[in-house]
Amino acid sequence: MHDPRIDALSRQLVRYSTKVKKGDLVWIDLFDVPNTVGQSLVREVVAAGGMPMVRINDAVLTREQMMHATEKQYDIIAENNLALMKQTDCYIAVRGSHNITEAADVPPEQMKMVMAKLRPVQNERVN
């Protein structure tokens, strides 16, 4: 059964928080949330005249990638994410969690490297 609160949240994020307008490229970044959240956001973005671009993230896979991450790998990831972020008119991230300690065993030096590499993407998003 569909939860109408998901549609209400989507409307709020698209119509009020980001004020999506015709022609806007909207990056919808989903982290461990039900597909119905993304589906509702896509529909709302399209209804507002925007072009949705969805990325689905999974904490289990992200953890596994970070455990074996290399600097070169995250240079490429960050470069591509930054290029996409610069082309994006609106950014909507919805974060859930199936296990808040999923990445707890990622070595601190790995986590620090990953976060440092991704910092320029976050800076672009907020500025």
Q: Could you give the CA distance from residue 92 to residue 79 in angstroms, rounded to a whole number?
A: 20
> What are the beta bridge partners of residue 90?
26
pLDDT of 127 over the 70 cut: no
Name the one residue in this structure whose structure tokens are 């995250």: 74
Tokens 């209400």 correspond to 8
Retrieve residue 40's tokens. 């509702």
pLDDT above 80: residue 124? yes
Strand order through the sheet with 90-95:
51-57, 25-31, 90-95
pLDDT of 120 reads 95
Kindly list the domain boundaries of the chain, sorted by start residue: 4-126
Beta-strand (E) ranges in the chain?
25-31, 51-57, 90-95
- Structure tokens given for 79: 């470069």
pTM: 0.91
The mean pLDDT of 43-57, rounded to a whole number, is 98
For 25, the 3-state DSSP assignment is: strand
4-126: CATH number: 3.40.1830.10
Which tens digits make up the pLDDT trace of 66-81?
A: 999 999 999 999 999 9
**Cα dist from 123 to 48, 85, 120, 126, 127, whole Å:** 27, 10, 5, 5, 6
Residue 74 and residue 111: Cα distance in Å, rounded? 11
Beta carbons within 8 Å of 86's beta carbon, 6+ residues apart: 124
